[in-house]
Structure 1
C-alpha cells in the first residue's frame, strides 16, 4: 500500500506546473494553488495577528489545550508562500505536539532579500518573549527554506543574548544556498519537485551580494555550539538530502543533541502529505513527540 502511496505523491508533484526557478509573479499563484489544494480540517482555527510589527497567523485546534508555542516558518525558496498557506502542515504538527502554532509572514525575496526574513523571525520571537511567553515554552519549526530560516534565526538569537527556544524541528531543510551538496546531482532524477537550477535562482534573489557561505544564510556552515535540541527529517528522494545529513553532522560535532531521520523513497517535504502517505504521518508523529518532550511546562 505504501509503495502505491509514494507513487501517487510522486506523480502529483511531477504533474504540477509550479517552477521554483520561475518568475515570482507567475509562480506565486501556482505555489498557492498547490499548497492550498487540501482544505483545513474543521477543527483548525486561524487568526491573523501581529508580533513585533511582523504579520503572523495563530493556529489553534479544538480539544487541544496548548502546552507551548511552535513558532513556525513556511517554505517556498524565500520567495513563495505565506503564513496562512502553511496552516495545514503547521496545524498537523501542533496537533501532534499538543501546542499552538504561530506561523510567521516573514519578508520574501526578491522584494525584501536577506537579512529581512531573519530580522522578522527574531522580531516575532522577541515579541512572544515580551508578551510573557517563556523561552522554554517556545519551539522553532519550519520546512524547506523555512527550516533554514528557523536555524538562522536561532543563530541570531544566540548572538544577541536572548534566551534560546526549547528545541527546533526542521523538515527537508534548505541550509546550503551554495547548492554544493552531492545530492544536488545524485538525486536530480529522483526529486519530482526541486531542481538545482531553480534553487540557485532563488539563492541569488535572497542572498543578493552577500556571501552565501554566511551561516545566517546557509546554516550548514555555521558554528552551532549552544544550539537547542534539533530534529531533522528528510526524504531519500530529494536533492536537499545532503543539506540535512551535513547539517546533522555539523550539529553533532558542536555537541548539539541532534536526531536525523531519513525516510527512503519519499520527496521533498513529504511530511506535507499526511493522510495520503503513511510515512508522512509516522514522521509527524515522531516530530510531535520530540516537540512535546522539549516543551518544559504543562498547564496546571
Structure 2
C-alpha cells in the first residue's frame, strides 16, 4: 500500500459522533454504504430466511451449489442487509457462489440475543436446504458469524465448510490492549465507540458469554477460519488473539494483517491494492472449503 493509498483510505473514514442517536447513526451509515454501486451484474432480491428478512445477492454466473451466508457489521446497532451486500457481492463475484445477506435485528431496540437468534434461525434454514454453506462477516458481523457457529454446534447443526471474518469484533469485554494502543491511529473507532455499542447490545448481559464474546469461548471443531485485519484499528487484538486461541484449540486458522490498513479494509476496493488482494484471498479460501 502506497502512502497515497493510505492517505486516501483514511480520508474516506470519519469517526462517528457518540452524541447522535442510533437512528441518526444508521441514517449516516446508510448514506455512506447502502448506496454503493454493486455492479450491473448484481441482482438483489428480498426474501426471508428462517423468518428473518434478507437479501439474495446474485452475481451473473455465480451459480455454484454452495451459498455464502453474510452477516453485516455495525456494532450490532447500525448496518443492514444492503450494507452487507457490498462485501457479499464482491465475494460472490470472486467465488462464483450465490450469497445471502441477513437483516438481523439491531440494538438497543433488540439487544442480545436478538441478532444471534435471527442469525441462527436463518442458518438453520440453510442447513435444512442441504446446500453446502460458507459463512462470512465483518466487524460485529464477524463476531456474530463466530457466535452463530458456536450456537449451531451447541444445537447439533452441521457447521459451515469454511469461515472468513473481516476485522471481527470478538471480545465485548474490551480486554485487548489495542483498544488503547491503537486509539490514536484508528480513523474510525476509539474505545468509547465500542463501549457504547457493547452497552446497547448487551443491555446488562454478561460480556464474557461466548455467544457475545466468542474469543472467550470454546472454538474447537470450528471449520477452517480466515481472519483479515488492519494494524490501524482498535480491534487488532480481537483478531490476533482469536487466531491464537483458534490455533490452540486445533482450528485450521489463517491470519492476514496489513500494516496501516483501517477497519474492514477490503471495503476499499479501487482505493487500496490490498483490498482487492484480500478479497481474492478470501474467495480462494471459501472455494477451497467447498472443493
Which among 71, 82, 87 is matched to residue 69 of structure 2? Answer: 71
What does 1:102-121 correspond to in 2, within 5 Å?
A: 102-121=100-119
Measure how far apart 1:20 and its partner are. 6.1
CA distance in 2, matches of 1:275, 1:86: 18
1:183 is aligned to 178
CA distance in 2, matches of 1:50, 1:93: 21
2:231 is aligned to 236
Does residue 1:52 correspond to 2:50, yes or no?
yes
Task: Report Cα offsets for 1:230-253 as digits up to 9, x if no partner.
Answer: 000000100000000000011001
CA distance in 1, matches of 2:160, 2:105: 21
CA distance in 2, matches of 1:242, 1:221: 13
CA distance in 2, matches of 1:258, 1:85: 27
CA distance in 2, matches of 1:228, 1:111: 32
CA distance in 1, matches of 2:46, 2:24: 26
Q: Could you tell me whether the CA contact under 8 Å between 1:18 and 1:31 is conserved in 2?
A: no
Does residue 1:288 correspond to 2:283, yes or no?
yes
CA distance in 2, matches of 1:26, 1:149: 23
Q: TM-score, normalised by structure 1?
A: 0.94
Measure how far apart 1:63 and its partner are. 2.5
Q: Could you tell me whether the CA contact under 8 Å between 1:21 and 1:202 is conserved in 2?
A: no
CA distance in 1, matches of 2:228, 2:63: 26
Measure how far apart 1:257 and its partner are. 0.2
Which among 156, 164, 176 is matched to residue 161 of structure 1? Answer: 156
Q: TM-score, normalised by structure 2?
A: 0.97
Which among 83, 86, 89 is matched to residue 85 of structure 1? Answer: 83
SS in 2 for 1:13: coil
Which among 30, 35, 59 is matched to residue 33 of structure 2? Answer: 35
Which among 199, 208, 231 is matched to residue 213 of structure 1? Answer: 208
2:266 is aligned to 271
Structure 2 residue runs without a partner (length 5+):
none
Structure 1 residue runs without a partner (length 5+):
none
Q: CA RMSD in A?
A: 1.3
Task: Report Cα offsets for 1:245-294 as digits up to 9, x if no partner.
Answer: 00001100100000011011110000111122111000110000000000
Which among 98, 104, 121 is matched to residue 123 of structure 1? Answer: 121
2:7 is aligned to 7
Measure how far apart 1:67 and its partner are. 3.9
Measure how far apart 1:97 and its partner are. 1.7
Deviating 4+ runs (over 4 angstroms): none
Measure how far apart 1:72 and its partner are. 0.3
Task: Report Cα offsets for 1:178-212 as digits up to 9, x if no partner.
Answer: 11110111111110011110110110110111110
